[in-house]
Structure 1
Amino acid sequence: MTGTAAPSQPRVRVGVQLQPQHAGYGQIRDAVLRAEDLGVDVIFNWDHFFPLYGDPDGRHFECWTMLGAWAEQTERVEIGALVTCNSYRNPELLADMARTVDHISGGRLILGIGAGWFQRDYDEYGYEFGTPGTRIADLAQAMPRIRARWAAMNPAPTRDIPVMIGGGGERKTLRIVAEHADVWHSFGDVETLRRKSGILDEHGAAVGRDTASLVTRSLGVDGQEPGEVGADLLAAGVGLVTLSTSGPDYDLGLVERWVRWRDAQG
């Protein structure tokens, strides 16, 4: 009997961040359906408590309760936060939340996580803002605790939950990426990505991980057309391109063009 070959993975995947601001939840739910129907690979939200753009007191919804709903609503796409703020939850609790959404989704969660930066979130919800240095140190301490909790849970996660770490700090953040991440998310142009990617690999060598092969490079490409930058991104080793869109309309026109470009790569 001749076996059926597994479907080939695309050279680059496409993610969309549906910013949970300035929209009713019905509009967000509809955008999730439209994004999955378009063929995106990953749908993200973000972990803030207030809008980042537009009316600062506009409509807004919480990250992880939303991810639980998305886990039931969707069938194919991976889901996650771009990114979770490490400061808002005890690491063991966050590990349990992620494990639970992993099971609800049938193994489609990506744990996106970062050190946090938006001071209003901290001030109004009673978290200590600290300094960039203390927040990054807290993230470094949280990562082994999260993985240890996953290893102790019953039931265990359905898979090794991929960890995406966001940020570009060359001395501290990229070191944490090298030690703990499966995906590194960054912003900037291709040349910046190349340079920081090289620094990431230097950290990887220092900690004994082959980050060139083990850590997927993710890059935000808002406002950029695939025909203009796509070839350079592929040459730079980008494995995930991400776009963002806000409520209430959640325009997916550019996302659709990136999906068509992805499919054309073979």
Structure 2
Amino acid sequence: MTETSPAGVRVGVQIQPQHADYAQIRDAVRRAEDIGVDVVFNWDHFFPLYGDPDGKHFECWTMLGAWAEQTSRVEIGALVTCNSYRNPDLLADMARTVDHISGGRLILGIGAGWFERDYTEYGYEFGTAGSRIADLAQTMPRIRARWAAMNPAPTRDIPVMIGGGGERKTLRVVAEHADIWHSFGDVETLRRKSAILDEHGAAVGRDTAALVTRSLGVDGSDPDEVGDELLAAGVRLFTVGADGPAYDLTQAEKWVRWRDRRA
């Protein structure tokens, strides 16, 4: 994984593709790269998650292709792709293509899915949380097998980020397949779930403490108050959200300054 920040500490920003014109999204991505973040994410939904439920919204993966051309330094990806919305082999091909367009800067963020309106209005079977997690577990080997068979191959081993915190099932999938684990919560929750992840890792024969980067959503958190404690707990990727149409990046700038003081 590209390391552009000191001591492996990285800052991400999620440009939430809602309530904005695309020109405003494009400008937010430009500003995020300019202020020095390491990763720019969007999300994989079809409708806004908050605010006006029928407000402006844009699709995830077509947007990532545009970001691959627009940016030159940051890694890009979805936080996270919904596994249910695309055939695994097609998703592998999409990711490989964006990987090439970006010159090797894609992170494949993926999760089991949860937003029922997406499913019902776009004609996907919602199922249960358990069935969606089982589908995710079956998807991951297919994605890697497709990457191994492609011509041209991906430019690198595309990092896989899996989002979710279910302790019995989701963290087992993370232990088996992820390079990055993304979660939410305070430092005590992180420590507890991180230890459970390592237990799953031991069960499947992976040293997840060494092989799986801990990523955390830090919306509303002051890096000067919580950053060092989270760093000591193992977090290496700190991501804040920015909502349209204004896309205020003030909090992301604070985390970038905190990161840089660790140089």
- TM-score range (shorter-chain normalised) is over 0.9
| CA distance in structure 2 between the partners assigned to 1:10 and 1:247 by the alignment | 32
SS state of the match for residue 73, structure 2? coil
Query: Which residue of structure 2 lines up, in the alignment, with residue 66 of structure 1?
Result: 63
Deviation at 1:9, TM superposition (A): 4.4
Are residue 111 (structure 1) and residue 115 (structure 2) matched?
Answer: no
- Given that 2:18 and 2:47 are in contact with CA atoms closer than 8 Å, whether structure 1 keeps it comes out as yes
- Given that 2:5 and 2:259 are in contact with CA atoms closer than 8 Å, whether structure 1 keeps it comes out as no
Counterpart pick for 1:22 among 19, 22, 27: 19
Deviation at 1:20, TM superposition (A): 0.1
- Tell me the TM-score normalised to structure 1 length: 0.97
| CA distance in structure 2 between the partners assigned to 1:84 and 1:55 by the alignment | 22
Q: Structure 2 vs 1, CA of residues 8 and 109 (structure 1 numbering), >3 Å: closer, same or farther?
A: closer
- Given that 1:114 and 1:167 are in contact with CA atoms closer than 8 Å, whether structure 2 keeps it comes out as yes
Query: Which residue of structure 2 lines up, in the alignment, with residue 143 of structure 1?
Result: 140
Query: Which residue of structure 2 lines up, in the alignment, with residue 3 of structure 1?
Result: none
Q: Structure 2 vs 1, CA of residues 7 and 166 (structure 1 numbering), >3 Å: closer, same or farther?
A: closer
- Tell me the TM-score normalised to structure 2 length: 0.98
Deviation sequence 1:158-177 (CA, Å, 0-9, x none): 00000000000000000000
Deviation sequence 1:135-160 (CA, Å, 0-9, x none): 00000000000000000000000000
| Aligned positions, number | 261
Are residue 253 (structure 1) and residue 223 (structure 2) matched?
Answer: no
Query: Which residue of structure 2 lines up, in the alignment, with residue 53 of structure 1?
Result: 50
Deviation at 1:11, TM superposition (A): 3.4
Are residue 226 (structure 1) and residue 223 (structure 2) matched?
Answer: yes
SS state of the match for residue 10, structure 1? helix
Deviation sequence 1:93-132 (CA, Å, 0-9, x none): 0000000000000000000000000000000000000000
| CA distance in structure 1 between the partners assigned to 2:9 and 2:233 by the alignment | 11
- Given that 1:43 and 1:79 are in contact with CA atoms closer than 8 Å, whether structure 2 keeps it comes out as yes
Deviation at 1:7, TM superposition (A): 7.5
RMSD: 1.0
Deviation sequence 1:8-29 (CA, Å, 0-9, x none): 7433100000000000000000
The structure 1 segments of at least 4 consecutive aligned residues displaced by more than 4 Å after TM superposition are: 6-9
Deviation sequence 1:205-244 (CA, Å, 0-9, x none): 0111000010000001000010010110111010100100
Query: Which residue of structure 2 lines up, in the alignment, with residue 166 of structure 1?
Result: 163
| CA distance in structure 1 between the partners assigned to 2:122 and 2:231 by the alignment | 41
Deviation sequence 1:59-85 (CA, Å, 0-9, x none): 000000000000000000000000000
User: Which consecutive unaligned segments of at least 5 residues does structure 1 have?
Assistant: 1-5
Are residue 78 (structure 1) and residue 65 (structure 2) matched?
Answer: no
| CA distance in structure 2 between the partners assigned to 1:115 and 1:8 by the alignment | 30
Query: Which residue of structure 1 lines up, in the alignment, with residue 154 of structure 2?
Result: 157
| CA distance in structure 2 between the partners assigned to 1:166 and 1:119 by the alignment | 17
AA aligned opposite 2:10: R
Query: Which residue of structure 2 lines up, in the alignment, with residue 242 of structure 1?
Result: 239
- Given that 1:31 and 1:250 are in contact with CA atoms closer than 8 Å, whether structure 2 keeps it comes out as yes
Are residue 87 (structure 1) and residue 52 (structure 2) matched?
Answer: no
User: Which consecutive unaligned segments of at least 5 residues does structure 2 have?
Assistant: none
- Given that 1:10 and 1:263 are in contact with CA atoms closer than 8 Å, whether structure 2 keeps it comes out as no
Are residue 264 (structure 1) and residue 261 (structure 2) matched?
Answer: yes
Query: Which residue of structure 2 lines up, in the alignment, with residue 122 of structure 1?
Result: 119
